[in-house]
Amino acid sequence: MSTVIFEKQGAVGVVTLNKPPHNLIDDIFLKALMDCYECAARENCRAIVLRSAMRHFCAGADTNGFSTGRRRNQAEFEAILNGLEDVTIPTVAAVHGAALGGGFELALTCDTIIAADTAKFGMAEASLGLLPLLGGVQRVAQRAGSARAKEMAMLARRHEPAMLERWGVINLVVAEVDLPEAAMSWARQLAAGPTVALGGIKRLANLSARSGVYAADLIQTEVNDAMWATADQKRGLAAFAATGPGTAVFEGN
């Protein structure tokens, strides 16, 4: 049985975490997840939904590996994070149940997070004598500021999604029954957009978050040029002139 499943629904790649009982993270699981993202790109998907088939989105890392004392080096961590976060198409995390530790960090690599109102989020590593290993501290700091990142990571509490929505850590909270359709609705809207332009937005935002506005400014012309070279840019301007804003039909190229 595959621990991560990929399927294509229209222009949306649906990536489903499928490792009983709680999608605990290990090396094989992460590789399978990255393989599915790469498959979505090869299949010309224009958005990705990351979801879970288990009771929880992901309850964190498989701590059995920690008892051996094996630690990843920083280059390995950065390769994992960059591979997930920098996939060129928009990503939407659909979170139900618990997203704890590494599971929360997986959600944070997505461009947007939609959560069921019954979900729970937290970075519990400090209670084990650890700290978040997959970039959770810095990604919460990007979204909500350093004070909230320290609060979440140091106190190791579980948080309600409504609070994290107010903080700006997650984008939207919906009733659990509505989560699948809400996530797919966002993904379909993103998939119907000008794919190259959206990829440029993502690249600029990610680089600015990591390296500051100046670093993003340095590649602005490169990103602009890629956008100007697309047929979607021409479709967008032509539709605006003919029938007004919001009427363009984009094809992703």
Is 125 within 8 Å of 101 (Cβ atoms)?
yes
Chain centroid offset of residue 55 CA: 20
**Which active-site residues does the annotation give?**
105, 125
Sheet holding 98-100, edge to edge: 98-100, 120-122, 158-159
Phi, psi of 114 (to 5 degrees): -115, 130
Is 14 within 8 Å of 44 (Cβ atoms)?
no
Q: Distance between CA atoms of 97 and 237, rounded to whole angstroms?
A: 43
Instruction: Give the strand pairing for 12-17 and 4-9.
Output: antiparallel
